[in-house]
Amino acid sequence: MDQSELIHVLSQMPKPIKWVIPDSARTEHATHVLLQQQGSEFILLFFELQGPVLTGTSEEQLAAYNQIESIEAKCVAKLVMSVENVALVANSFLGILDRLQEMAALAQKGQEHVNTTR
Q: How is 54-81 classified by DSSP, letter by letter?
A: --SSHHHHHHHHHH----EEEEEEEEEE
Low-confidence stretches of the chain (pLDDT < 70) are 113-118
The answer, as to whether pTM is greater than 0.75, is no
Strand order from edge to edge, sheet including 72-82: 32-38, 41-50, 72-82
pLDDT at 108: 87
Half-sphere exposure of 88 (CA within 13 A, CB side): 5
pLDDT at 110: 80
pLDDT at 4: 80
- Going from N- to C-terminal start, the domains of the chain cover 27-116
